[in-house]
Amino acid sequence: MTRRELRENTFKMLFRKEFYPVEELEEQFEYFTESLENLSDTDREYIHNKAFGTIGKIEEIDDVIAGVAEGWKINRMSKVDLTIMRLAYYEMKFDDDIPVIVAINEAVELAKKYGGDDSSSFINGILAKLA
């Protein structure tokens, strides 16, 4: 899989956190990865590490996002937008392999594909403040 495909699948896995308790996420990961065709062990590990790394830092990430999202509370944000920003911030702060500008650009692309009409500009604005 390409990095973009890996990121998109990580986003999809991470989005499940909004609907399942943390205790069920490992099982959800198994269901999710079973549905992916031609998933190598390396790709599976990449998705797992990035998704669960983000989940492990979610409170810290949400505090940082809330600190720059003027007029927005975390619980009022679109779950899609929030999931994209969580993943992007995790990449920006905790993944030295991903340049900040790449994390932001990839988040904007995910927002264009999965978010609402204003999602890409909203996410770009928030992440630019965090860069």
CATH number of the domain that residue 34 is part of: 1.10.940.10
* Residue 2, both tokens: 């390409």
Domain total for the chain? Answer: 1
> pLDDT per residue over 86-119, tens digit each?
999 999 999 999 999 999 999 999 999 999 999 9
Domain ranges, residue 41: 3-130
> pLDDT per residue over 119-131, tens digit each?
999 999 999 999 9
Contact 54, 86 (CB under 8 A): yes
- For tokens 């590490």, what's the residue? 49
Contact 18, 79 (CB under 8 A): yes
- For tokens 């943390």, what's the residue? 22
> pLDDT per residue over 33-75, tens digit each?
999 998 999 999 999 999 999 999 999 999 999 999 988 999 9
